[in-house]
Amino acid sequence: MGSRFTRPAASLVYRMIHLNSTLTPSDLSTKLKRFWALSGQKINHLEQTYDPKNGSPVFTIQGRYTTRGWTEWTQGFQFGSALLQFDATGDESFLALGRDRTLQVMAPHVSHVGVHDHGFNNVSTYGNLLRLMREGKTPPNEWEAHFYELALKISGAVQANRWTPISGDGLGTSAGAGYIYSFNGPHSLFVDTIRSCRALVVSHLLGHTFQGEGDKRIDLLERALLHMQATANFAVYYGEGRDTYDLWGRTAHESIFNVNDGNYRCPNSQQGYTGFSTWTRGLAWAMCGFAEELEALAVIGDDELTRFGGRAALEAMLLKAARATCDFYIQHTPTDGVPYWDTGAPNLHKLGDYLDRPADPFNDHEPVDSSAAAIAAQGLLRLGRYLMQPERTQSIDGQDAAQQGQTYWQAGLTVLGTLLEEPYLSTDPQHQGLLLHSIYHRPNGWDYVPEGSPIPRGESSMWGDYHIREAALYVQRLIDGGPYYTFFNGVNA
């Protein structure tokens, strides 16, 4: 590794995950066929046995989904999973399930002013339904499409209203700098929200006009881009000496600001070990969020981006953050692509050279987090494809862009290949989860610890199950020759 204040040498960045350089999407076809069969069984089992009066299902305890009061951020993953299942298989029973439950249950999430998770709940449901219709996978219906559009417009505006201004000139606009604050309050920027930020992008692409006091117009694209910039500047580290633990691609779960003067104060963590280590699911949110926002930038016109510094500057900001976080993941993850829950977890040293072998979910010291791997796989694949596009022939840090992209691409396929088989794929028909060995909140001790084990293992989460389905659908579409899968498909038509 390089010094703590410099980006690691290119020859060392990719030494941890053992990339399968010959793996192609088609090589995963057999695994995916089995995966979708199991996925459908799990969706039906949960629908038939879970009592919605208990609230949104969050994670499993002894193989049964249960709720966990914090915020209602997982409901969209439950019904969005049915829509992804329909997308992959064509089984219309899952379309009916996802559509009906969205109509019956999701309206409160559209107007929920107390959370930063609108991209999770509403883009996963209303967004998928609109996307499927615009792609021609469901029959066109003008009024139904307007219903989905209205929900998405309002959802993005509600999320954008959670706004904290901070010091700095932002992107050079009169609005200055700022971010969408977390449910902890106006002082709190969560790295997670970079993926949920797509709610603002969708609302903007749908042409929504968001207004505040005195009919003042609030620019949704501006707030989305400013939030991306704040996340890139404060939640991601680049080996430039911000603190003693500054490494290329390290992330902080939470960034704390003084709301009186708008100044940044310190890193923090709600679900990771410390603010100075990397909670790997937060890292994965950044990987996936920055990569897909790079893709979204391509459908926004140059004239709209000029007032924010122009396309080149915005792409450079997003690309730097995406590359840094993906590099960190590859370098600080075991050889099979599944990370432990935090890179600074206090008992990792008891595992010896844990980065030089596959992750061990059955160890006695620290749990892995397969949900982080599922999210990260998609980020690696999207960034890889982005860099491999013919128009990106430039050198980046002295390296060929396409060559870098190929590395990320193969890493993404490698991670997904690991998750599509045991011990991560849940084959027990009585277990309601699909992706095993997911972790929710290790510091709070919320995860189930089975008898005889000192650490949590063997359980699933709603976000893990949803995101392994998303990653699987991404590759399935490449195999089938379907439209390239993005969250904004059809929205900008």
Name the 3-class secondary structure at 263: strand
**Average pLDDT, integer, range 228-255:** 97
Name the 3-class secondary structure at 165: strand
Report which secondary-structure segment, H or E, holds 61.
Answer: strand 59-61
Range 10-480 classified under CATH 3.40.630.30: no
**Per residue in 252-262, pLDDT tens?**
999 999 999 99
Closest listed residue to residue 197, CA positions, set 131, 278, 309, 122: 122
Q: Quickly state the pLDDT bin for 122 (edges 50, 70, 90).
A: very high
Q: Quickly state the pLDDT bin for 493 (edges 50, 70, 90).
A: low
Is the pLDDT at 1 greater than 50? The verdict is no
**Per residue in 381-399, pLDDT tens?**
999 999 999 877 677 777 7
Q: How far, in Å, CA of 302 to CA of 175, rounded?
A: 20
**Average pLDDT, integer, range 93-116:** 95
Is the pLDDT at 5 greater than 50? The verdict is no
Q: How far, in Å, CA of 369 to CA of 124, rounded?
A: 22
Task: Answer whether 206's CB lies under 8 Å from 152's CB.
Answer: yes
Q: How far, in Å, CA of 80 to CA of 87, rounded?
A: 11
Which residues lie across from 256 on neighbouring strands?
A: 188, 266
Residue 374: Cβ within 10 Å count: 31
Which residues lie across from 218 on neighbouring strands?
A: 210
Domain boundaries, the chain: 10-480
Is the pLDDT at 90 greater than 80? The verdict is yes
**Per residue in 419-464, pLDDT tens?**
999 999 999 999 999 999 999 999 999 999 999 999 999 999 999 9
CA distances from 145 to 84, 142, 342, 365 (A): 18, 5, 41, 50
Task: Answer whether 378's CB lies under 8 Å from 413's CB.
Answer: no
Q: Quickly state the pLDDT bin for 490 (edges 50, 70, 90).
A: confident
Residue 34: Cβ within 10 Å count: 13
Q: How far, in Å, CA of 52 to CA of 56, rounded?
A: 7
CA distances from 225 to 199, 289, 294, 308 (A): 12, 12, 11, 8
Q: How far, in Å, CA of 247 to CA of 234, rounded?
A: 13
